[in-house]
Amino acid sequence: MRFSQGRVVEIYSTPGGTQARIACPARVIPTPGQYLHASSQDAILGTALFTTGAAQGGFISAPPIPDHWTPGTALSLWGPLGHGFRLPANLHRLGLIAAGGNVARLAPLAELALAQGSAVTLFIDRSPGQLSSALEVYPLDEYPSLATWPDFLALDLPLENLPRLRLILGLSADGRPPYPGQALVHTSMPCGGVADCGICAVELRRRWKLACKDGPVFDLRDLLA
């Protein structure tokens, strides 16, 4: 874990929410799925920042960000924290599911896959905003009919949607997906893995894990309890 200082450079309003360009040392920029714990001087709790893309001198954070942040806000940072996505080396067809309607935390995976010549398809229930024209986009409820297409699946999954995971994937009560995959379980992680507060607890096959330390990216099969 690395401690450093950062700064809010710009604030962006996007269809998916408010984002910020964060200036920080390159060594602390999180990989896709990892997060950076950030706190401002006037805040009691910290904020988990995920990258949605690179920027000069830092990165663009995925929404949401605190309402009180403005350009120039100084940040205390530590991280990167948690386990991120691990795309297979021989990836040919990447499926992305934005189960909460926000594609920002999955966008870096799409860029990586497209750069290595893989095909990428996104399933989402709202307009994803500006994305590469090489990306195919379908409504979320069409995923089950195309479930055999990807050879790897990555999800952005709000914790409250975890009980619906089988329905989203079109799986029976005891079914398993025919492909490997991982899911970023998005939830509040205010302590950054320091306090074991349990706010971010995730049930995995009748045992509990903390998203802040054991995740926030989990193996898809472990989530299908």
Output the pTM of the full model.
Answer: 0.91
Where are any strands of DSSP class E within the chain? 2-14, 17-23, 35-40, 47-49, 51-55, 58-61, 74-81, 93-98, 119-123, 136-138, 152-158, 181-186, 201-204, 207-210, 217-219
Instruction: Report d(CA 37, CA 159) in Å as an integer.
Output: 19
In the chain, domain spans: 2-81, 93-223
CATH: 3.30.1240.10, 3.40.50.300, 2.40.30.10, 3.20.20.110. Which one for 2-81?
2.40.30.10
Query: What size, in residues, is the chain?
Result: 225
pLDDT digits 0-9 by tens, 58-105 = 999 999 999 889 999 999 998 999 999 999 989 999 999 999 888 999
pLDDT digits 0-9 by tens, 160-204 = 999 999 999 999 888 888 889 999 999 988 777 776 777 888 888
The architecture of the domain spanning 93-223 is 3-Layer(aba) Sandwich (3.40)
Residues 6+ positions from 91 with CB-CB distance below 8 Å: 113, 116, 118, 151, 152
Whether the Cβ atoms of residue 199 and residue 186 lie closer than 8 Å to each other: no
